[in-house]
Structure 1
Amino acid sequence: MGTPFSAKTQLASITEVLRTIAGPLDLNVSVRLWDGSVVPLGPNADGRLILSLSGPGVIGSMLRRPTLETLVRLYATGHIEFEGGDLIEFTKALRTERSNRAELKKISKAMVVRKTIPFLFAKTKTGDLDHGYRDDMVGRKESARNNTDYIQFHYDVGNDFYKLFLGEEMQYTCGYFTDWSNSLDQAQHDKLNMICRKLRLEPGERMLDIGCGWGGLICHAAKHFGVTAHGVTLSQEQHDFAKAKIERLGLQDQVTVEICDYADHQGTYDKISSIGMSEHIGAANYPRYFGKINSMLRDRGVMLNHAIARRAKTSKKAAQRIRPERQFILKYIFPGSELTPVGETTESLELNGFEVHDVESWREHYAHTTRFWCQNLSANREQAIELVGREKYNLWVAYLAGASAGFTAGSIKLYQVVATKRAKKGLSGMPPTREHLYRAA
């Protein structure tokens, strides 16, 4: 069904709406309409950052279904484009102050409704994005989870794709910035060092890394701290990359890697790391997860859990609610993932035989890391599109930019928790201070 309104009427209507809201918005962003005309969204907009709309159907789609899902579809399919800067810049530029929001509320709603009526029947073709996870995206119950499918959906997008933005170390968790001006590669190297120090690794010890990624930590721990390290992953792509890295570094006598679910792994270790892994487990499955880790640690053995977290909620109902940005991530990026407050992690550790010693927030470090990732991926746009297609590339840019905004605002967080396996009696064996963490490298 076509629209009963002329193209001229539609352009005049949306131009008037944009000019009306431009004053209160006061943004350094302009909108390019489908006829090529440009409307600034603030009196001081310099014209560098431009939000481009492909046609009247973009506005019609947002009017009929004003959701994040609609916005993501329009962006992924190229009906909304960002020109003159990367999505990180636009995310910052599109923020409005509270005072501006108050002024926006004074604008006549009747006028806005009247001027947007010409778009109610305007449509655009976005279709059903062929990149979403089509089974149980949440997987809170262990019986409903398919961890192998979840991991492969996310990580087996291809090593070449991840190389475009992760950096030299192929680290897919946040770096540790000893100075905010440090490079991403330096921050990732310093992160690996800090984890090894927190674990108090000693030559000859046995270490397990659950969800070992591309093998960065196990290789670093063996090479620089003299341990014998083993990594487990469910991703074939990661396994093959890690195995090749081990051989390239000549660490075959110290480092091994296998495709294995953590629940099926057997062995006894002095130290265990879980870096960016527990988000994939689900809160209901924490007892099984931390109980399994406990069973593989020697008495007084040290474990480190590094995980993204959310704010605590005032009620169980609020905690169970899945916000739109989480729905986007569950469907298109990380099916089966779940974020919990750090208190749930420490409580579960204590209930499953651990003594918690240290909790440290690395939220700002992840804000910096995801900004680097988004900028790196944007800088390699053509190569990324060649590998995964434009729609998937756009989904990933949106995900990384949104993550950076979330960590910057504090709506999502990152904590490292250090704990020891409780001995039947006696001291934990942890040092009296944390001076060893900050000694010169």
Structure 2
Amino acid sequence: MSGIASTLDSFFEGGLPVRLSAYDGSVAGDQDSPYGLRLVNQRGLAYILTAPGDLGLARAYVSGDLELEGTHPGDPYPILRLIVGKTDFKRPAVTELVGIARTLGLGSFNPPKPPPQEHLPGWRHRVEHARDLIGWGRHSQRRDADAIHHHYDVSNTFYEYVLGPSMTYTCAVFPTEDATLEEAQANKYDLICRKLDLKAGQRLLDLGCGWGGMVRHAAKHYGVKALGVTLSEQQALWAQEEIKRQGLDDLAEVRFSDYRNVAEGDFDAVSSIGLTEHIGVGNYPSYFGFIRSKLKDQGRLLNHCITRDNSRGRNSAGAFIDRYVFPDGELTGSGTIVTAVENAGLEVQHHENFRMHYAKTLTGWNRNLVENWDACVAEVGLGTAKVWGLYMAGSRVGFETNQIQLHHVLATKTVGGVGGYPLRHDFGV
């Protein structure tokens, strides 16, 4: 091995499809590529070596020890499109280990402290049993609140820059290829209202309501009395102020609360837009059972959720997502969700995939981050802004390559064979 870059490049199956340069002056990979990775120092090398794959690269990048060349940190999509799925280390031969250690230095195999943006999982292994006894188990109310706080209570101002006026952090539905992000978000809410067949005077429960977009849309455009709940205090405060600003106090309400604490029942409809990813696959039976208990007979559920392309394998969203974006998040195939909904006693009426709509949504969010980059960095810091750019661009690749999808599952509380569903739906279009 002639240098750090060549040694690192040899760890990746087939080598990296971009240029790789290192602080010792060595260069490897595709040196004709317009995109590159530049390793700045030994700490970055140690991050990569001690957490091989996406997590180590992300740690080095977020900490400033690995730089991306040829792309903006607010939208690293061009380089991620090339390297996503190609960053797993191959196992070196035993005969190579001495040369590798000599080239990279034994100190490079000593794991540095992770960047401050990382949600550390170490305590899970040390005190999981003890916390189970006091209400801190995986997906307990206290732990879910901690996970939601990590991601959603970053800064409302930051989210205003990235999400735009809709303040909607879920997949939009684009009515046309050239529709704006705002038009697509409004269209998404309206589509859900039509799928739920909302009418004036009815009652809607929106679980994981975020900044209240669905609640406000249903109240404003359909005359529905809507209650939304979120585990993010900052989201709830923002939503409450916006409800007042729009004069919707008589119809719309957003609470800072765990959905499990909603005491009211007899709702005409329940919407769950982007919450199922957070509750854990093992909790699907109780979650959809809870929803059924809150619905009137013939009431409707619309579940909007990121899914995998199949239900095989592990449910974890991956090390980077778990540590930096959605702690404890879990994804599975849409079939698992459909099964859980049916097993809870709800009748599935319609099932739809919006995979490419999410790719377009993420493109818009990355564009907003780039356009407001300096303000975003000033608001949350460079490391956190880089995490969001990386997460959104990487997720876009995932949707484009069909590693992940976005599904709507529409179901009714059918009782005695009566579901209140028409012979054929058209959703008003």
TM-score normalised by structure 2 residue count: 0.84
- Counterpart residue number, 1:429: 420
- Counterpart residue number, 1:175: 172
Matched, 1:130 2:116: yes
Q: 1: CA distance between counterparts of 2:155 and 2:360?
A: 24
SS of 2:106's partner is coil
- The alignment-based identity, stated in percent, is 36
SS of 1:129's partner is coil
SS of 2:377's partner is helix
Contact 1:234 1:261 in 2 (8 A): yes
Q: Which amino acid is 1:186 matched to?
A: E
Contact 2:273 2:304 in 1 (8 A): yes
Q: 1: CA distance between counterparts of 2:115 and 2:296?
A: 48
Matched, 1:75 2:73: no
Deviations 1:236-263 (A, max 9, x none): 1111111111111111111112122211
Contact 2:172 2:358 in 1 (8 A): yes
SS of 2:218's partner is helix
Contact 2:149 2:232 in 1 (8 A): yes
- Counterpart residue number, 2:23: 34
Contact 1:30 1:38 in 2 (8 A): no
Deviation at 1:264, TM superposition (A): 1.6
- Quote the RMSD (CA, aligned, Å): 3.3
> Which residue among 287, 290, 315 is the counterpart of 1:289?
287
Cα distance change of structure 1 residues 19 and 272 upon mapping to structure 2, 3 Å threshold:
closer
SS of 1:378's partner is helix
Matched, 1:247 2:244: yes
Q: Which amino acid is 2:170 matched to?
A: T
1:198-213 to structure 2, matched below 5 A, reads 198-213=195-210
Matched, 1:256 2:249: no
Deviation at 1:381, TM superposition (A): 2.6
Cα distance change of structure 1 residues 56 and 237 upon mapping to structure 2, 3 Å threshold:
closer
Matched, 1:228 2:225: yes
Cα distance change of structure 1 residues 209 and 422 upon mapping to structure 2, 3 Å threshold:
same
Deviations 1:369-406 (A, max 9, x none): 12222332233332222222222222222221221111
SS of 2:55's partner is helix
- Counterpart residue number, 2:382: 390
1:366-385 to structure 2, matched below 5 A, reads 366-385=358-377
SS of 1:436's partner is coil
> Which residue among 400, 404, 407 is the counterpart of 1:412?
404
Q: 1: CA distance between counterparts of 2:358 and 2:184?
A: 11
Q: 2: CA distance between counterparts of 1:113 and 1:311?
A: 41
SS of 2:412's partner is strand
Contact 1:26 1:43 in 2 (8 A): no
Cα distance change of structure 1 residues 390 and 125 upon mapping to structure 2, 3 Å threshold:
farther
Matched, 1:90 2:87: no
Q: 2: CA distance between counterparts of 1:394 and 1:275?
A: 26
- Counterpart residue number, 1:302: 300
Deviation at 1:122, TM superposition (A): 5.8
Q: 1: CA distance between counterparts of 2:325 and 2:84?
A: 24
Cα distance change of structure 1 residues 234 and 34 upon mapping to structure 2, 3 Å threshold:
same
SS of 1:292's partner is helix
Deviations 1:186-235 (A, max 9, x none): 21111111111111111121111111110111111111112111111121
Matched, 1:160 2:157: yes
Deviations 1:65-105 (A, max 9, x none): 523322111011111111332311111244699xxxxxxx9
Q: 2: CA distance between counterparts of 1:140 and 1:348?
A: 22
- Counterpart residue number, 1:120: 105
Contact 2:345 2:413 in 1 (8 A): yes
Deviation at 1:111, TM superposition (A): 8.8
Matched, 1:51 2:37: yes
Deviation at 1:114, TM superposition (A): 4.9
* Count of residues in Structure 1 that have an aligned counterpart in Structure 2: 409
Contact 1:175 1:187 in 2 (8 A): yes
Matched, 1:192 2:189: yes
SS of 2:388's partner is helix
- Counterpart residue number, 2:273: 275
Q: 1: CA distance between counterparts of 2:54 and 2:84?
A: 16
5+ residue gaps in structure 1? Answer: 1-9, 98-104
SS of 1:191's partner is helix
Matched, 1:216 2:209: no
- Counterpart residue number, 1:13: 3
Deviations 1:277-310 (A, max 9, x none): 1111112222221112111111101110001112
Q: 2: CA distance between counterparts of 1:375 and 1:96?
A: 23
Please say which of residues 49-58 and 184-193 is displaced more in the overlay.
Answer: 49-58
Deviations 1:109-148 (A, max 9, x none): 9899857842233649953322333454998855586222
**Bigger radius of gyration among the two:** 1
Contact 2:274 2:305 in 1 (8 A): yes
Q: 1: CA distance between counterparts of 2:362 and 2:7?
A: 34
Contact 2:270 2:301 in 1 (8 A): yes
- Counterpart residue number, 1:100: none
SS of 2:427's partner is helix
Cα distance change of structure 1 residues 14 and 155 upon mapping to structure 2, 3 Å threshold:
closer
Q: 1: CA distance between counterparts of 2:16 and 2:329?
A: 37
Q: 1: CA distance between counterparts of 2:403 and 2:6?
A: 35
5+ residue gaps in structure 2? Answer: 129-135
- Counterpart residue number, 1:346: 338
TM-score normalised by structure 1 residue count: 0.82
Structure 1 consecutive aligned stretches of length 4 or more whose deviation exceeds 6 Å:
15-22, 108-113, 137-140
- Counterpart residue number, 1:319: 314
Q: 1: CA distance between counterparts of 2:424 and 2:410?
A: 14
Q: 1: CA distance between counterparts of 2:414 and 2:185?
A: 31
